[in-house]
């Protein structure tokens, strides 16, 4: 069944990085129950990789990404987006400010990921976080995990630099297999330290660890955000149908 021309459209504030945005789009499509092209979610993608590096900016006390993020938000609003998704964990440093700049819902990757963690890893209490150093220092995942009763674990400074940050950089440079080896080694080390689940808190990490054999379950925030977007879309379609029925 075809959707009406005014069907709600998801806006994706992407490009951070471009491969992660493509991965997110694939996961939205796979999460969408559809029997034909016409039954898939309409998506407007703002894929601009020139947004300044979020991690470097945060660690240096710079607000350089902000005007670019705001410009992307305004572009998506003007294009007719009805909700915004940001497939970049570190960009969520600016999530609250972006949400305050729009009347549109701005879905949160961290909230979506923690909901999946509770659902799919109910026995886990100690949770390893792999993310950019900025995401770790900004406590994007630490504080919500603690509030929900989890014990967050993270690599020490040496492993963060040599394995996690280096693995993320490898994926951004197109060396996915090299990133997989580094990140899998780090996951094994955290499992030996007692981690019972892994939060892959950078959108490059699920790309690298896709198909990797780990010693603990891993939660993919990119996929969690995709599922959250599909849930939003179905709710928005119901609202649209009810509104049209009343006209």
- Find where tokens 């996915």 sit: 176
Mean pLDDT, rounded, for 199-222: 94
How sure is the predictor about 242, in pLDDT bands with cuts at 50, 70 and 90? low
Give CA–CA dist 122/40, Å, rounded.
Answer: 31
The domains of the chain are located at 10-109+223-246, 110-220
Q: What is the mean pLDDT of the chain?
A: 93
Q: Which of 2-16, 67-81, 158-172, 219-233 has the lowest mean pLDDT?
A: 2-16
- Greater model confidence, 39 or 108: 108
Question: Which class for 214: exposed (0-12), middle (13-18), buried (19 or more C-beta within 10 A)?
Answer: middle
- Greater model confidence, 247 or 209: 209
Catalytic residue positions, numbered = 88, 202
The string of pLDDT tens digits covering residues 41-80 is 999 999 999 999 999 999 999 999 999 999 999 999 999 9
Would the pLDDT of 104 be above 70? yes
Q: Are 182 and 166 in contact (CB under 8 A)?
A: yes
pLDDT at 245: 60
Q: Which of 4-13, 32-41, 72-81 has the lowest mean pLDDT?
A: 4-13
Give CA–CA dist 81/8, Å, rounded.
Answer: 7
Q: Are 183 and 209 in contact (CB under 8 A)?
A: yes
Fold assignment, 10-109+223-246 = Rossmann fold (3.40.50)
Identify the sign of the CA torsion 84, 90, 92, 94: negative
- Identify the CATH assignment for 110-220 out of 1.10.10.10, 3.40.190.10, 3.40.50.720, 3.40.50.1860: 3.40.50.1860
pLDDT at 121: 95
pLDDT at 246: 62
Give CA–CA dist 88/84, Å, rounded.
Answer: 12
How sure is the predictor about 1, in pLDDT bands with cuts at 50, 70 and 90? very low
Give CA–CA dist 243/100, Å, rounded.
Answer: 26
Would the pLDDT of 218 be above 50? yes
Would the pLDDT of 247 be above 90? no
Question: What percent of the chain is predicted at pLDDT more than 90?
Answer: 88
Give CA–CA dist 242/86, Å, rounded.
Answer: 28
Question: Which class for 189: exposed (0-12), middle (13-18), buried (19 or more C-beta within 10 A)?
Answer: middle
Mean pLDDT, rounded, for 135-160: 96
pLDDT at 243: 67
pLDDT at 4: 58
Mean pLDDT, rounded, for 90-99: 97
Would the pLDDT of 3 be above 70? no
Length of the chain: 247
Would the pLDDT of 144 be above 60? yes
């Amino acid at each position: 069944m075809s959707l009406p021309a005014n069907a709600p459209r998801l806006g994706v504030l992407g490009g951070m990085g471009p491969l992660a945005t493509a991965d997110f789009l694939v996961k939205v499509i796979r999460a969408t129950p559809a029997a034909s092209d016409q039954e898939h979610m309409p998506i407007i993608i703002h894929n601009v990789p020139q947004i300044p590096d979020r991690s470097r900016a945060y660690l240096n006390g710079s607000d350089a990404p902000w005007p670019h993020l705001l410009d992307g938000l305004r572009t998506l609003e003007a294009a007719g987006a009805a909700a915004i998704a940001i497939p970049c964990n570190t960009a969520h440093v600016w999530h609250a400010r972006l949400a305050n700049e729009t009347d549109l819902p701005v879905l949160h990757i961290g909230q979506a990921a923690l909901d999946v963690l509770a659902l799919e890893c109910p026995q886990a209490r100690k949770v390893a976080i792999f993310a950019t150093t900025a995401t770790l220092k900004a406590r994007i995942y630490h504080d919500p995990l603690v509030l929900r009763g989890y014990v967050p674990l993270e690599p020490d400074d040496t492993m963060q630099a040599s394995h996690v940050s280096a693995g993320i950089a490898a994926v951004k440079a197109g060396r996915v297999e090299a990133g997989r080896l580094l990140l899998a080694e780090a996951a094994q080390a955290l499992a030996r330290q007692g981690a019972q689940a892994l939060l892959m808190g950078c959108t490059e990490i699920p790309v690298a660890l896709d198909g990797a054999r780990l010693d603990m379950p891993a939660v993919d925030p990119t996929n969690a955000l995709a599922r959250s977007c599909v849930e939003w879309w179905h709710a928005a379609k119901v609202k649209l149908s009810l509104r049209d029925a009343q006209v």
